[in-house]
Chains A and B, each alone.
Chain A
Amino acid sequence: MRDVAVISFVQSAVARDAVHNEVEMLVPTLHAAMAESGIPKNEIGFVCSGSLDYLQGGPFAFVSGLDAVGAWPPMRESHVEMDAAWALYEAWVAIQTGEVDSALVYGFGKSSTGDLHEIMTLQYDPYYVAPLWPSMVDVSAMQARAYLDASGRHEDELAEVAARAQRNGRSNPYAVRAGDVNANDVLAQPVTHDPLRDADIAPITDGTAAVVLAAGELARSRCERPAWIRGLDHRIEAHSLGVRDLTTSESTRAAAAAAGVAAGEIDIAELHAQFSHEELMLAEAIGLTANTVINPSGGPLASNPVMSAGLIRIGEVARRIWSGEAGRGVAHATSGPCLQQNLVCVLESDH
C-alpha cells in the first residue's frame, strides 16, 4: 500500500443560496483547495467528484461541475453519483495503482432547490417501494423506532445527540443550525416524524467541499503534518428495507473492522449521521467508547450539504490532525436509505 494523505480541505455551506448555481458555488471551494495544497492544477493527477443530478432535476447536471475545474488540457477525471466520500475512495485507489501521485476530490449540491426528502424516494426499489412515496425521513423514522425498541434506548438519548450537535455547531462557521441547546429544549419540540423531531433530522443545506490527496513524499513536501489514510473500506447491505436488520449497522461494523479502527485509540470521530439515532447506531457499530469525541464539528445535524457531507467528515478529521488537536481519528460516510452503504476511513498523524 502507498501512503496517501489528505493535505488540503475546503468547504462551503449555507441554508439556501438563491444567487449562485451549483457551479458558481463550487468555483471558490475548488480553487481554494488547490491553492492550499500547493499543487498546481496541471500537476494534479486525477479529478473525481460526487453529486446527484436529481438535486437539480436535470440529466447529466454533474458534467457542468467540470466548468469549475477547467478541464483543459484534457484531464483524468471520474464522477460518482454518490457522496464525494466515495469519489475520495476512487481517487485513493487511483493513487494506489501508482499511475498518479495526487488527486482533487470534490462534492457539490443544492438541497434547497427541490424537496430533498421526496427526491430521495427515487433511490428506493421502483416496483415495490417508490410507488408508495415514503420520504427519506419516513423510512429513517421507521429505523429510529425499530432501533429504540430493540436497544432499549429512549427518545431523550436522541435529544442529547441532537442538542450536542447544535452546541458543537457554534464553533463551526459552516453550521446552518447551531445554538446553546440542551436535550430538554429538543424534547419540548413537537414530534414531526414519530419518533423524530426536527432537531433529530439534518437541516437542508446548500454547499460544496473539496479535498486534495497526495502520496508519500509529495504529501510531506506540501503539508507539515499530513493526515495519513491508514484504513479505508466501504460495505453495502441489501436494498430491500424489509430484508435488512434495521436495528444495527452491520455494513458499518464490517467496514470499520476492515479499515483497522480497533488497532489504536480514536481521539475523534466524524460520523455522517443525518438523524440522531444514526449517530448512536454508528458509534456502536464502529466500536467507539466514551474516550472518543464524536462530531466535534456538530456533524450533519448542524450542517448537511448533500453529496459533500460525507467527504466533509474526512476533511473535519484531517484538519484536526494537521492542527495537532487529534492524533488518530475515524471518518464515516453513508449512502442509500437507512445506512444501507457505509464507508469508514482511519486517519493518523505521523507518530
Chain B
Amino acid sequence: MAEPLVEPHVLEYPGGYTRSVGPVIGRFLTGLRDGRIEAVRLADGRVLVPPTEYDPSTSAPVDADGPQWIDVGPRGTVQTFTWVATPRPGKHPLTKPFAFALIRPDGADTALLHVVDCGGPDAIRIGSRVAPRWRAERTGHMTDIEAWVPLGDGEEPEPAALHVPAEDEQPVTGITSTTRLEYNLTAGAATARYLEGLGEGKIIGARAPSSSDVYAASRGTDPITGEATSIEVEVKASGVITTYCVVNIPGLSELAPEIPYVSAQILLDGANNTFFGLIRGLDVDDVHMGMRVKAKWADELKPDHTSILWWEPTGEPDEAYDRYKDYL
C-alpha cells in the first residue's frame, strides 16, 4: 500500500463569477452606489430590506418600479450579532476585529446582515443604534457600506459622499462574486498507489475481488459490483485505440500540444477498462480504431500524469474489432 497522498487543491473562478442581479436587486445596489438604502413596501404593509424579487411570505412578484419603493435608514438597530475576533483576509470586509450583525434600518420591518466596526465586543448589544460608514468610491455592491458604526444619542449619521456618475453610467445590472476555497484532498488508497506507480514507470491497476476484471487506474472499487478492489496488478503500458477524436481547439490546457492532435481511449493490455491518452508520432489522419500504441515515458518520472508524455504506434498489426468492441 502506498503512503497516504494528500494534496492541496484550490477551487477558484479566475476573475470571479459574473452574476446578473436582475432589476429588483439591481435597483437596491444602484441605490447603495448613490448612498441610499432602498426598500420595498409589501402588500401586507411590511417594509422589506434588502428587497427580493418576490414577497418572502406570499411569493408575489415585487416590481422594480413604482410607489412601493421607499428609502429606509440610514440609522438602524442591531437585532442580533456575533463577534469576529480573527477576520479572514481577502474575504471579510474589515481587517480588524468586528461584529457581524443583523441590522434593521429605521422604517424597515426586516433586517440586513452586515458588519459593525465598534472596537470591541463590549461596545455592541441587541438594540444598539448604528449607521452606515459609506465608502467614498461606490460601485453598486454590498461593501459600498464599508461598515456600520455606533451612533450616540442625538448624533447625526455621517452622510455619504456625493456619487458623481460617469457620463455613460447605467443602473447596476451585475456583480462579480469572487470565491476561493482551499482544500487538502485525499487521493485515496487506490489512486495513491496508481500515482506512485507512474513515478516508477508502471501502470498499476487493481483486480475486482469477485471477477477477473482489472481496472487501471482503479478508483478503489469495481464499478460494476461496488466491491473494494484490493488485489494490485501491473498492466502493460501498451494497448489498442478503441475510439478517438481529433482536437482542433487550441489552448485547452497547458499540457496540450499544438493542434491538431488526437485524444484517444486506449484499452491497455491486461486491463478491462479504457485509459485516456494523447496520440502522437504520426499524422492525425493516420490514427484509427484498432491501432496498437505504447506509452512514451518522460525522461524524469514523477508520481503524476506528466510521466506519460503521449502514446505512439508500436508498428504491430491492428487488433480485430472483436478485441475491443465491448469497450466502446
A residues near B (Cβ < 8 Å) are 17-21, 23-24, 27-28, 30-31, 41, 54, 56-58, 64, 66-72, 110, 113-115, 118-119, 122, 126-134, 138-139, 141-143, 145-146, 149, 192-196, 238-243, 246
Contact = CB atoms under 8 A, between A and B. Distances in A.
A194 B181 contact: no
A268 to B, nearest CB: 32
Interface string B4-16: 1010011100000
B224 interface: yes
Contacts of A139: 100, 113
Interface residues of B, number: 65
A240 B110 CA distance: 9
Contact of B92 (A132, A240, A242): A132
B115 interface: yes
Given A21-B188, A127-B142, A70 B224 contact: yes
Contacts of B177: 126, 130-131
21 contacts: A18-B4, A20-B188, A21-B219, A23-B221, A27-B220, A27-B227, A41-B226, A54-B181, A57-B183, A64-B219, A66-B223, A71-B223, A113-B183, A113-B185, A127-B19, A131-B175, A142-B82, A146-B79, A194-B121, A242-B102, A242-B110
Interface of B: 4, 6, 9-11, 19, 21, 25, 29, 48-50, 52, 56-57, 79-85, 88, 91-93, 100-102, 104, 110-115, 121, 126, 141-143, 175, 177, 179, 181-191, 219-228
B228 A127 contact: no
A57 B126 contact: no
A138 B100 contact: yes
Contact of B186 (A20, A118, A145): A20
Which 6 pairs across A and B sit closest by C-beta, in order of nearness? A70-B226, A21-B188, A242-B111, A141-B82, A57-B11, A146-B80
A153 to B, nearest CB: 14
B175 A110 contact: no
A243 B40 CA distance: 13
Nearest to B143: A131
A207 to B, nearest CB: 14
Contacts of A30: 226
A133 B221 contact: no
Given A126-B19, A132-B114, A194-B83, A23 B188 contact: yes
B81 A142 contact: yes
Contact of A67 (B25, B110, B221): B221
B226 A113 contact: no
B29 to A, nearest CB: 8
Contacts of B6: 18
Given A27-B220, A242-B112, A114 B188 contact: no
A131 B142 contact: yes
A1 B268 CA distance: 52
Given A70-B224, A118-B88, 17 more contacts: A21-B188, A21-B220, A30-B226, A41-B226, A54-B11, A57-B185, A64-B219, A70-B226, A113-B186, A127-B19, A138-B84, A142-B82, A193-B82, A194-B83, A194-B121, A239-B56, A242-B79
